Each structure stands twice: as structure tokens, then as C-alpha cells.
Structure 1
Amino acid sequence: MGLNPDVTALLDEFKAIRHQIHKNPEIGLETVETLALVKSKLDDYGISYENIGVNSLVAKIDGREGDTTVAFRVDMDALEMSEENGFAYKSQVEGRMHACGHDGHCTSLLALAAYLSKNRDFNGTVLLLFQSGEEGYEGALRVIEDSFFDKYKVDYLFGYHAWPGLASGKIAVHKGACMASEDRFEIMVTGKSGHASMPHVCNEPFAAVADIIKGLQTIVGRKIPSHERGVVSITQVHGGSLRNGIPDNVMVQGNVRTCNESVQDLIEESIAQTVAGAAAIYGVKAELDYVRKHPVLVNSVPEIAIKAAQKAVGAENVVTDMESSMAAEDYAFYMKHTKGCYVWIGNGVDSPPLHNSKFDFNDEILAVAASFFIEVIEELL
């Protein structure tokens, strides 16, 4: 029990790899150099791999006899924001930084690869999935569309995220929903333009928009059961160009988060009803474009992750009562095709939040994550 000694012995080596990736952040699906680094390390370890999706990769390690396949997935892409840290390995690319820890996620899977290259005494197959484009670029969908689940028989898939606010050395496992769905909507309200001094000859879209916004803000409080969670946020309103002119069109955009698919359905239906009602009252045309960006991330086998985490960090460091997050994660798409569990590993109580210009992945997680993955393999294979 405890962190794997073979992994901890290599911690300094993998810190250096993580720092190299951190200095050279790549955005979205364009993780070309990061993927090249991953390939060079896998070559060193004698592990075979193939490209999948867009600048993503699957490595395969066969053990002894046995037909169970366990996969592990990490992301590799950074964010379009400037880093405000002062350490030596800060981003060397202006306007880009690893503010979500994907540099560390990627490195921890390389640590697992290094371990498995010398320890293949398991029954079955292990897959290592290095994925691009998690930050809104549909990287997971590109992998799935490239026949990932047809090319490989994936019985289980596990992943994790470094988590600010959770103490270093702790692992959080959710029973059921771990992270929220993300939906996006755009409402185009069309009226009749004219002079601001003569609204009686116009058909003002802003009046309908005001009621729509007010109505949307009541959905969670009045329609969603109090024991459920949901968020409806208005994020953009655009319309008009004159101080003395009523415009033809006003556009409203927003974001929806839930941790329950039935709540997701109810919110979408309620938004449509609100928009249609305001359009009818004010005699304007209102078109709703509602897009489901990510599904709810639901853990189907938390008991396996709990056992593995207890072996890796001790039962006292495994947390099972944290609230699910309203952030979304495209790992959720994989859970529509196989069983698995996504855990959080503590980045430190005082860690800056994710997507913050001061965020940095805690290097100590590298050994925690790789040890957790090793214990998952022990449990299943």
C-alpha cells in the first residue's frame, strides 16, 4: 500500500518532462509538438502506438493471457491566456498557458507507460489514450469518430483531473455524477427598427429580450427541484448601433449546466417556452438555437476507483462526499460507450483555481496519479 516506489524513484525525471510541456503550450487540436514528445518517450519505452482522432494517440501494452482491456485517458491541450507565474518553466508562448493542468495529466500517463514497460505481469491489455482538444475543441468526439471503440475492445476507462482546493495527496471519487453537462444557446429576436422617438411605429426587440432574460433567471429557482443542481447564465447580449435608433435584431447567448439529464431536458424545454412566450407577447420573431455541447459525466464503477485509491494513498485520504462540479469535461462522451470512473486528485488547498493565470500543476500529483492507475490495473487485471 502507498505510492508505487518505482514511480516515485523517477519523479525528478517526470517533473522535468512536465516542465518542458508547460513551457511549450499548444492549443486545441494542434498538439503537434506535445504529441511528438509523447511518441519519443513511448519509443524509448518500447511501447507501440497509433495515431487517432486529430493529434491524439493510443498506446497499447499487452500483458499475459486474458481478454479484459483497461484504458486510461489524459488530455494535452492548453488555454489561450497569458501566464503570470515567475518560475523558470513558465510559458514561453505569449497568450498561451497550461492553466488547467493538462501538462501534468499527460506526464503522469507517461509515468505509467514507463512503469508498464518494465512491469507487464498482468492479465489483459492496457491502453493509454493521449487526447488533444479537450478545451472546447471536441477532441474526445474526434477520437470516438475515428472508431476508437471499434478498433479496441475497451472494458473500462479511467481518467482524472488535478483539483484545486483539495489537499495534496487526496483523491476524490464521486458515486454517480462527477461533472456537469454543458449546453449553449443563442436566441435571435427580430422586430422592426425605427427612430427611438417613435416606438409606436416600431416593434422593439429589446422589450422581448428583457422579458426573456428575466424569465430565464427564474427557471432554476422555480422549475428545478431543490435537491437538484442547475445553472442558467446569460453570457452575451448584442443589438443596436445608435443611441436614437431601435434595432431590428437583438442576439442573446447563454450557457446551461446540470448534473442530471432529466434536469437538462427540463431546462431546455423551459427556455424554449420562455422564448416563445415573449415572442407572442411582443409580436416579434424569436429563434432559439440550443446545442448540447457535453453530456453529464457519470461514474459507473466508482467502487473500483475507491479500492484503487485506498491502496495508493490510504483510506483516510480518499474522499467520497464532495459535490459534483458544474464544470464540464469531454471525457463524459467516452462514458456513453464503456464503464469507467473519473477522479479528482488534490492540487493543494491553497492552489489557484483552474483557468487562472497563476495556476500550476502540483508535481507531487505525478506519482499519485500513476500509482492510482497502477492500482486500478491491479484491481482489474
Structure 2
Amino acid sequence: MKRLPLDIDYYKALRHELHRMPELGYKEHRTAERICGELEEYNIPYEKGIGGTGIVAWIDKGKPGSAIGLRADMDALPIEEETGLPYASKEKGVMHACGHDGHVTMLLAAAKLLKESVDFDGRVVLIFQPAEEGGAGAKAMIDDGLFERFPMDRIYGLHTRPSEPFGTFLIKEGPVMTSVDTWEVKIRGRSGHSSQPHRAVNPILVAAHLVQGIKEISATSIDPAKAHVVTVATIESGVAFNVIPDTCRIGGSVRAFDPEVQETVEQRIRELASSMAAGFGAEAEVDYEYRYPPTINTYTRSAYRSAASCVGPERIKSDFPSSMGSEDFSFYLQKVPGAYVWLGSKSDPEAETIPLHSSRYDFNDDLIEIGVCYWVGLVREELGKE
């Protein structure tokens, strides 16, 4: 890869600065101000407060024409950092455990390079998005008029992937991440003394049967060829060993690539909750929420060509299992063609892989230059004058 005309040490320091001041979704006020400060230094116009704390900047050059969007997520996670790094989080119980500090840094560095050193015709839209981690910040920005105020022909996202070899891009068309739905069942029984269960209706007993029933949905109601995950993740009830409680709550998530699977699981949870509760003389209330749709890449040619120009085609994987994780970048791809790709960060194949969302995770600073190369390459592929 050709060296870029950037002060990489400066951007590594910037990344460390962002890492020290993590903020949760829709609370990224200091992060947003720091981003705006950089954009002002580059003389790049922007608007802030889009979708809450989101920022949209733009670079116009050459003849008016096409526009592409480049997105970086800004938010951190509610995790107590245990890296021991000199630039570790200064916010108790909050850390950048998913690399968003690195994503912001790469897009800012690319913005400077695009503004000062790259010729193109059209517009580059820089999207600094809040609340990716469960807060649907992408949808919030769309609902706030993102695509009406800043029309785009295509949109791209980039995310680090610590399990893959350093500098390896994962790019393919079609589904790359699942949807995610959340569900909760509140079971109402009748409280009583634990020595007289016949005078009470124990909601925990109902929950125990319901958990088993929900876990059987995959085996009895879903085509085995359709990948999905139905998870029971929480159960809450009771205050003392000698009291049968009034209520019990159980909840979890559903991940799938096929909307039909989502609809089937929702229907079966509702049916099972209602019938099992009634069978024990209890009542059940179901709350099912469709959170993020599947992430489906619809245009990858430019992404592939840009990545190949940075690291070589031999370091691009196009045949890999789609992830059972989820991403709100999916909302953008429902509106505009584009691609979401991963960039491997594992420098030592013998070393332990510290996964995303771990209290010991840290972004690999050596990725910054590759990420900038990729962003700049996308602009050249989509809007280049040659």
C-alpha cells in the first residue's frame, strides 16, 4: 500500500483521546464536539444534532453529480475497561469496546485527505452516527431527514473484526448480518405461601415450561435450512424462599436473515405464552419488538476494487459465513444501495483473540492507514475523474 500524505501519529493520538472519553448512545456530546472541531480545522461544512447527537459533513468538488455516504459510529458500551492501557477510559463503567473510536478516527483522517488532496466530481457525505449499540441511531438519523437533506446514490460502512488476520477485508453481496428482535413475556400468577402452592398460581412454574417451549420453536416450526437463533436471556421473579410471587418476566432475542422466520417466531411465542399461562390459571402479556432488520449488501463492486487497491485482492475474502450479529447500518441499506464490510485486525495469529465487546478489547491503531486508504479508494471508484 502506498503511503498516505497524513500524519498518522496525530491520528493515533486522536484515537487515544477519543478512547479516554467514551460516551453511550445519544450522549456522545463531547465526542461530537471533538469531531466538529476537527471538521472546522479542515474547512469542511457540517450540521450537527441530526438524529440526536449525529453529525453530517460534506465535501463538494468538481462538477455536481453523484453523492456517496461514508459512515462511522460514535458510541461506546456500558463496560468497565480492564485493558490497563495508559489511555484507558476515564469514564467509570463505559468504554470503547467495539472500535468506534477507531472508526471515527479513520473517517476524520479520510475527510482531511479528501478535502486537501483528492480530486473527484460530486459530493462525499460524512456520517458520524450515534447509538449504534442497540439505540438504532441510523434509524434516528433517517427519521430526521438524513436522505432528504443529504441525498446519496450509495452508502458504505466499515467495521473492525479482531478474529480476522490484519489487513484482511471481508466483502460479499447479500445478507451479511442478521436482524435482531427482542421479546419479553410477563406472566401474572397469584402470590401465596410456599407451603400452600395449591392456593396460589406460581408464575415461575409457567415460565419454566414456557422457556422449554420457546427453545423448541426452532425444531418444530422453522425450516432447518434457514439460519436463525432464538435466545432466552433473562428470567426475573421472586423475593423470598417462602413466598410464591405474583409475576415472572422472561425475555430474550431472535436473530434471522429471513423476515418469515421473525414473523413465525413472534407468532409462536405469543401462542405458547397464552396457552401455557391459561393451562396453569395464569395470564401472559407478550412484548415483541423488531429492532434491526438484516444487513443486506446490495452493491459491493466499488468496495472490492477499493480494498484490492489498498491490500491486494489476495487479502479479500468473499466466501465467509454471514454473522449472527446485527447492525443498524441495515436501515441505511434498506433505503440506499451500498455495502458493509469488515477489516481484520489480528496482527499475531498465535495471540489470543480479544473479541469485540470485551472489557479487554482495544482497537488496533495500525488499521488507521488502511481504513483511510479504503475510504479514499471508494471515493475514487465512485466519483473519480478518470
TM-score (norm. length: structure 1): 0.95
Worse overlay, 38-47 or 279-288: 279-288
Partner residue of 1:282? 280
**1:1-381 alignment to 2 at 5 Å?**
2=1, 4-7=2-5, 9-51=6-48, 52-348=50-346, 349=349, 350=351, 351-381=353-383
The aligned amino acid for 1:53 is: G
Quote how far apart the aligned CAs of 1:197 are.
2.6
How many residues get paired? 378
The aligned amino acid for 1:18 is: R
Quote how far apart the aligned CAs of 1:246 are.
2.1
Quote how far apart the aligned CAs of 1:119 are.
2.9
Conserved 8 A contact 1:91-1:97: yes
Conserved 8 A contact 2:4-2:369: no
SS in structure 2 at match of 1:186? strand
Separation in 1, partners of 2:223, 2:162 = 29
Separation in 2, partners of 1:176, 1:213 = 33
Conserved 8 A contact 1:35-1:55: yes
Separation in 2, partners of 1:347, 1:270 = 40
The aligned amino acid for 2:374 is: F
Separation in 2, partners of 1:202, 1:86 = 52
Separation in 1, partners of 2:324, 2:139 = 21
User: Cα distance 1:222–1:164, how it changes in 2: closer, same or farther (>3 A)?
Assistant: farther
Cα deviation per residue 1:263-311 (whole Å; 9 max; x = unaligned)? Answer: 2222212212221221232232111100111111111112332222112
Worse overlay, 186-195 or 220-229: 220-229
Quote how far apart the aligned CAs of 1:68 are.
0.9
Separation in 2, partners of 1:90, 1:137 = 24
Conserved 8 A contact 2:4-2:373: no
Separation in 2, partners of 1:204, 1:95 = 36
Structure 1: stretches of 5+ with no match in the other structure:
none
* Structure 1 vs Structure 2 CA RMSD: 1.6
Quote how far apart the aligned CAs of 1:245 are.
2.6
Separation in 1, partners of 2:7, 2:368 = 10
User: Cα distance 1:70–1:247, how it changes in 2: closer, same or farther (>3 A)?
Assistant: same
SS in structure 2 at match of 1:163? strand
SS in structure 2 at match of 1:57? strand
Conserved 8 A contact 1:63-1:120: no
User: Cα distance 1:180–1:59, how it changes in 2: closer, same or farther (>3 A)?
Assistant: same
Separation in 2, partners of 1:277, 1:328 = 31
Separation in 1, partners of 2:278, 2:127 = 50
Counting aligned pairs with the same residue, the percent is: 36
Cα deviation per residue 1:162-184 (whole Å; 9 max; x = unaligned)? Answer: 10110111100132112221111
Quote how far apart the aligned CAs of 1:120 are.
4.4
Worse overlay, 303-312 or 150-159: 303-312
Separation in 2, partners of 1:346, 1:246 = 51
Separation in 1, partners of 2:7, 2:316 = 24
Separation in 2, partners of 1:61, 1:291 = 38
Quote how far apart the aligned CAs of 1:11 are.
1.7
Conserved 8 A contact 2:136-2:292: no
Quote how far apart the aligned CAs of 1:355 are.
0.8
Conserved 8 A contact 1:62-1:120: no
Quote how far apart the aligned CAs of 1:102 are.
0.4
Worse overlay, 284-293 or 222-231: 222-231
User: Cα distance 1:206–1:331, how it changes in 2: closer, same or farther (>3 A)?
Assistant: same
Quote how far apart the aligned CAs of 1:66 are.
3.7
